[in-house]
A and B are shown apart, each in its own frame.
Chain A
Amino acid sequence: MRSRFLAVFASVAALTLGGGGSALGDTLTFGAPLCLTGDQAPLDTPGYRGAQVAIKALNDRGGLLGQQVEMVAIDGKTDPVTVGNAAVELIDDGADFILAPCDFDFGGPASRAAQEAGLVGLSLCASDPLYSSWSLGDKQFTLSMWNTTMGATAAEYAYNERGWRNAYVVTDQFIAYTVSLSKYFVEHFKALGGNILAEDTYNNGDNDFSAQLARLQALDEKPDVIFISSYGQDIGFIIRSLREVGYDAPVLGGDSYDDPAMIQSLGPLGNDIYFVTHTFMSADAHPEMEQFIGLFEDMFDEPPDTSFVATGWDAVMLLAQAAEIAGTTDGAAVAKALEENVFHLLTGDLTYRNAAEGHAPDKAAVLVEVKGAQTHFLGWRTPSNVPPP
């Protein structure tokens, strides 16, 4: 019931936000069945805005393959069926590429539709290894590193660089992303020789960490590092709950920490937190970052509020570069170009394995430290021996 009412409003939203779907044909079209409303909106909206900046930049440079480019968005409303239908509609209208939402559950239907139509589909930031050519087809990719890389990077930072040996792990059972990130961290941390002191479970939206705290307090040992894999607002809540009662061990996590509001809300507790993410909004991460931020500000009159905006820019630019190499927008040719080349993106250097190996992205990750409720760039990391998905 709820979603039906959302639908009415969301279509209005899509019209206001969207690129205004019109004349396809002489232009190359990026179809974007992204979730601009609902739970998924905080992840997809930044990518969508970054992609809009990229489309404009491409046209200013003279377009792609001699043609102008445009992006047409239809709101997927955080509903897998709606995302799938939106993708089919975009493909029927002549889309040349599909930009899929940031999650396997919501992005999968868009990629499956793209695969059926022989088009390349690219998720802006789905990081679960389920987002692979194994499950979606040989023309489907995700821009993000997989959680295998994310978890391994965190584990190597903890064990090799900082010498933390005893980890306490909290896993939010919310989605595949939160569960698999913990899994790969634990696997890799143990493989390195680390010890998992305890693992605990959290349910997203609970905003109650008291029982977990009681269990943690009952342990004889205090952890050297606390790994929290959660999502959205709950991360800040869990960190605050731990810090308040005296657990001041460093906290480690994934790209869901990349949220300025959450970090700001921690205030004086926002120290000694480290996370692995896609990129960092400064020239330290990439020489062209300042230029991108400038273009973003020109278009939206405000600075980006999360580094996830870069995933949208990268997704469009990656597909554009692959199409330039292939000399066509044909799905098979673009997929081949993606598989066979190295791409230098704002979110790191990227190569894809071939379709038989799942299109696993080999990608570097950024490490960020939170100090004084501010984020600081620690550098790019490439983990060795990434655990198998």
Chain B
Amino acid sequence: MNAAQFVLDVLSLGGAYALMALGLVIVYGILRLVNFAYGELIMVGGYTMFLVSGSGLPWLVMAGCGLTMAIVAGIATDYLAFRPVREKSVTAVLITSFAFSTLLQNAALLFISPRPRAVPLPELFSRTVEFAGVITPARNLITIAVAVIMLGLFSWLMRSTALGIAMRAAATNFRMARMMGIPANLIISAAFAISGLLAGTVAILWIGRIGTVVPGIGLEPLLIAFIATVIGGMRSLSGAVVGGFLLALIDTTLNYTLPQDLLKFRDAFTFSLVILILLWRPEGIVRGPASGQRT
């Protein structure tokens, strides 16, 4: 086993997982609710790229379209699924987020096709480079680079801008933050927009691995994001990142080391480890700020 190869595999998978998890936890942090339509934001990004693929635009513009539509879909989730019922009951919001997810998936199924559709990829995505003695696809390095840039940008946003500080305040104690004059709707919409941006980025990187998009494409990333945030710590943004990388480390290690007969049960091993981690730290690895009531 080549150590450099292993590290590269973990980092590139972990980068993608961390971005997925961050997009989920940013909304959870403020609303204390898992947005089950998160996977469909990734789907929207993918289908947008499919729909503009015939236009002859440069790939970066197409990727930009995908990103924009994922952000729009993120904000739409807030307006359509969360805002109307937010103050009524947790169950209602949970159900509307499921409903919105189903609505988007079935819209793709009915209006486009249940069959996969090819998404344009730049040539760069299938080129290989030699890095530290390992031949690896360039997109693995791109994934790592994009993850580093996005995480850096995100941490700057949360620490150094008024919006970021307001969002962190809202995540710690929403009611108090509102009393201090922070506009609730703006903060929540911003969280959904950022969630959409991250989902769009994931769409480009994740679908960049696969090459095609189907209505159910968001399920796997949603599941990964959910597990990563649970082990990382549901209340902490850095926890989501830690969780993403840890999950990638667990998966890759098991993939490398399990014998063939056991490899098909890999998920069982992964989840056993997740249970152990949760027994050890029930609140996740990184503890977030002590928080008040759900809003």
Q: Say yes or no for A232: interface residue by CB 8 A criterion.
A: yes
Q: How large is the interface on B (under 10, 10 to 19, 20 to 34, 35 or more residues)?
A: 35 or more
A262–B209 CA distance with the chains assembled, in angstroms: 12
Tell me which of A233, A241, A261 contacts B137 (CB under 8 A): A241
A-B contact count (CB 8 A): 135
Can you list the 7 inter-chain pairs with the closest CB atoms, starting with the nearest? A265-B211, A211-B255, A41-B114, A210-B9, A173-B264, A201-B263, A265-B118
Please, what's the 1-or-0 string for A211-243, where 1 marks a CB less than 8 Å from any CB in chain B? 110100010000000000000111011001101
Please, what's the 1-or-0 string for B220-261, where 1 marks a CB less than 8 Å from any CB in chain A? 100000000000000000000000000000011001100010
Q: A1-B98, A5-B98, A9-B106 are in contact. Are A211 and B126 (CB under 8 A)?
A: no
Please, what's the 1-or-0 string for A237-253, where 1 marks a CB less than 8 Å from any CB in chain B? 10011011110000000
Tell me which of B116, B121, B252 contacts A261 (CB under 8 A): B116
Interface residues of chain A, those whose CB is within 8 Å of chain B, are 1-2, 5-6, 8-10, 13, 16-17, 36-39, 41-42, 45-46, 173, 199-201, 203, 205-208, 210-212, 214, 218, 232-234, 236-237, 240-241, 243-246, 259, 261-262, 264-269, 305-306
B128 closest partner in A (C-beta): A244
How far in angstroms is the closest Cβ of chain A from B150?
19
Q: A205-B220, A233-B210 are in contact. Are A13 and B99 (CB under 8 A)?
A: no
A275–B264 CA distance with the chains assembled, in angstroms: 24
Q: Using A232-B116, A259-B116, A265-B119 as known contacts, list a sample of 19 further A-B pairs with CB atoms less than 8 Å apart, ordered by residue number in A.
A: A2-B102, A6-B102, A10-B106, A13-B109, A41-B114, A173-B264, A201-B264, A203-B267, A208-B251, A208-B252, A210-B9, A211-B255, A212-B255, A218-B1, A232-B214, A233-B116, A243-B126, A244-B137, A267-B121
Report whether over half of chain B's contact residues are helix, strand or loop; otherwise say mixed.
helix
Tell me which of A13, A36, A46, A265 contacts B212 (CB under 8 A): A265
| B115 in contact with A261 (CB, 8 Å) | yes
| A211 in contact with B252 (CB, 8 Å) | yes
Interface residues of chain B, those whose CB is within 8 Å of chain A, are 1-2, 5-6, 9, 13, 95, 98-99, 101-103, 106, 109-110, 113-119, 121, 123, 126-128, 135-137, 206, 209-212, 214-217, 220, 251-252, 255-256, 260, 263-264, 266-267
A2: chain B residues at CB < 8 Å are 98, 102
A173–B261 CA distance with the chains assembled, in angstroms: 11
